[in-house]
Structure 1
Amino acid sequence: MRLFPRLLLSHLAVITAMGAVLVLTAELAAHPFIQRHVDEMVRQMGGAGAGMRDDLSHGMRETLTRALLTALPLALLVATATAWIAARRVTDSVRTLQAGSAALASGEYGRQLPEGGQDELAELAHSFNVMAGTLAQVEQGRVELIGNVAHELRAPVSAVRGYVEAAQDGLMDSQDAMGAVHRELGSLERLARDLSLVSRVEAGQVDLRPQVTDARTLLEHAQQRFALPFEERGVTLRVGPLSSPIPVWTDPERAAQILGNLLGNALRHTPPGGRVQVGAHARAGQVQITVQ
């Protein structure tokens, strides 16, 4: 049996039981009450009222019973209508929640339920909406993670391809090319370690190993890493000028990762014949690295 008939039948059972209790209680409680009033009426009527005691008592009890039997159907009708409305409201809310859950299960994380009212059903709808919003954020994070991983893989893979092709064409010494490829493989290994620690990344617990580093070294390594891809695209990559050391407290590996992402973006969006300028400046106790 579905929820609405069960709720309605349970309400009707309670209404019927309460009606029976009401009639029984009225009949039992009315007897002494009626008897006191009959005695008072007989006393006021004197001797003439003594013979009417039974008739008065019977008439008053019969009147009460008829009044109860007349009012009871109307009360049951009103109670039944109220029970129907209450059961319908509960089942409508359950159906709405069921439809929302089905949509959520099919991947529609943007589904929201109406939150009207101040009762538990409204609180349940609010909790559902919060859950749907959280799942939507998780899904968005998953999509962004896939995009970020693809973006992270693109730079070292492109660099490795450039070094290998340069070595094959005789444009770069094989030993230098192997050293450069080895560095890029280190970047790929770092990415693999990061992917194995996704839960820690989401919790904001990324491992950082900061140390004093010369910003010029970061830029020079980046220039060496992207020299061939920029040359192949016909884009000029310039660094500096950097005349004096620029010490900075940073994680060199993470800083190189960020700088590589910026240079990769610049390379994709700069047309052939264009120029990309990279610089570093000490300012107010911090170091600002720019890619223009």
Structure 2
Amino acid sequence: MKLLVRLFLSHALVVVLTVAALLVLAEVLAPTLIQHHVQEMERLIGPVGRSLRDDLSRGMRTTLTSALLIASGIAMCVAFLAAYVAARRVVRAVQSLSEGSLAIAEGDYRRRLPEDGQDELTALARNFNRMARSLADVEASRVELITNVAHELRTPLTALQGYAEALQDGVMPPAHASAAVLRETRAMERLTDDLALVSRVEAGTVDLRSCTVPVPDLLLGALDRFGPLASERHLALHVRPAPHGLAVHADPERVAQVLANLIGNALKYTPPGGTVTVTAAPVPGGVAFRVQDTGPGVMPEDQRRVFERFYRTDRSRSRPAGGGGSGVGLTIARGLARAMRGDVTVTSFPPDGSTFTLTLPADADATPPAIT
């Protein structure tokens, strides 16, 4: 039996039972009420004969029963019509939801349900549409991820094919070809490692070993690591000393990895003669590491997307001088920071450079310096 029929019959049964109960109750109570009314009439107009009293009682009961039957018939017709309309509306909503879910299952993530009204059915349609939009976003991200991975792998694979053909044709010395092949395979290995780390970060399965990490040690390590690279690119790298006693509670290797990503990006996109400044200072509840550069900056419409996988603000500069990254560095940086109960944000006012801020929780056992 179809849902429409079942709903209509359920409403009809309620109507029939209600009318039947009304008729039975009226027939049970009517004699007493009529007798009381006849007695009131006798009190007002005087005694009447038994035959007249019985005739009045029969007439009033017949009139009452007839009126109830006619009114019940009309009421049942109206109730049946209302039940059909209500049942049909529910069935239409269910059918629309069924058709929409089937379309989603077949891959049509553009299907939406009408949201006319303020009742629970409208709320259900609204939630369905929200789910459809989320699935559409996930599908778009999946397609974009596959496209970007294919794009990132195409460059080293094309290079490997060229080196193999050159080696086969004898136009490249074996030693030079093997070095080039090793370089490209290492680039592919870095990409696969970064993708694996992104997956673990997004799944929340990154292994963290948090402890007390002195902030000055982190800054000195960053200076030692990136000082030579900054000099090679004719950039000024300023790492300002951190306040004494400043420490964070985090995984030291992961913090160093996040800082390396932020500083490396700043050096990569800052033109020669520019400056990259790294600072650390206490903030309410934690420590803020700021990496400020004098590069071209990030446009406002790009700032909310720079942490997406493979997103680049300028596709033409997808592989800047000095080696290109995998395109997931900032995604990893923010994911690791949030796994350590922190975050990474960006502020930028092009063309006056950008500032990436890593915020981490302060270590509870360290003596906190004054917040300036």
CA distance in 1, matches of 2:222, 2:165: 35
Residue 124 of structure 1: SS of its match in structure 2? helix
Aligned with residue 282 of structure 1, among 265, 274, 281: 274
Corresponding residue of 1:68: 68
Q: Which residue pairs with 1:45 in the alignment? A: 45
Tell me: CA distance 1:166–1:83, structure 2 relative to 1, closer, same or farther (3 Å): same
Q: Which has the higher contact order (CA 8 A, sep 6+)?
A: 2
TM-score by length of 2: 0.57
Superposed CA deviations along residues 218-271 of structure 1, whole A, max 9, x for unmatched, are 998xxxxxxxxxxxxxxxxxxxxx44665795239985xxx7xx9xxxxxxxxx
Give 1:35 shift. Answer: 1.8
> What is the rounded CA distance, in whole Å, between the counterparts of 2:110 and 2:147 in structure 1?
21
Q: Bigger shift: 167-176 or 74-83?
A: 167-176
2:260 maps to what in 1?
250
1:251 match: secondary structure: helix
Alpha-carbon distance change, 219 to 174 in structure 1, aligned in 2, over 3 angstroms: farther
CA deviation map 1:32-68 (0-9, x unaligned) = 2222111111122223356532222222112111111
Amino acid at match of 1:150: A
Please name the residue that 2:83 is paired with. Answer: 83
Distance 1:15 1:250, change over 3 A: same
Distance 1:110 1:254 in 2: 40
Q: Which moved more, 1:115-124 or 1:173-182?
A: 173-182
Which runs of no fewer than 5 residues in structure 2 stay unpaired? 208-217, 240-258, 278-291, 297-316, 322-372
Give the letter for the 1:39 counterpart.
Answer: Q
* Conserved 8 A contact 2:236-2:273: no
Identity of aligned residues (%): 47
Task: State how 1:120-199 maps to structure 2 within 5 Å.
Answer: 120-164=120-164, 174-197=174-197, 199=199
- The aligned amino acid for 1:251 is N
Bigger radius of gyration among the two: 1
Aligned equivalent of 2:31: 31
CA shift digits 1:99-153 (9 cap, x unpaired) = 2112111111011110011111101101110111011001100110011101111
Structure-2 change in CA distance of 1:281 and 1:55 (3 Å)? farther
Structure 1 unaligned runs (5+)? Answer: 221-241, 263-277
Equivalent-residue separation in structure 1 for 2:116 and 2:200 (angstroms): 38
Instruction: Please identify which structure carries the higher helix content.
Output: 1
Structure 2 Cα separation of the partners of residues 59 and 91 of structure 1: 47
RMSD: 3.8
CA positional deviation for 1:191: 2.2
Separation (CA, whole Å) in 1 of partners of 2:230 and 2:143: 30
What SS does the corresponding residue of 1:48 show, helix, strand or coil? coil
Give the drift of 1:281. 4.5
Q: Secondary structure at the match of 2:123?
A: helix
Which whole-Å deviations, capped at 9, do the CAs of 1:66-108 have from their partners, x for residues lacking one? 1111111111111111111111111111111122112111111
Please say if residues 236 and 275 of structure 2, whose CA atoms lie closer than 8 Å, have aligned partners that are also in contact: no
* Alignment check: 8 A CA contact 1:216 1:280 kept: no
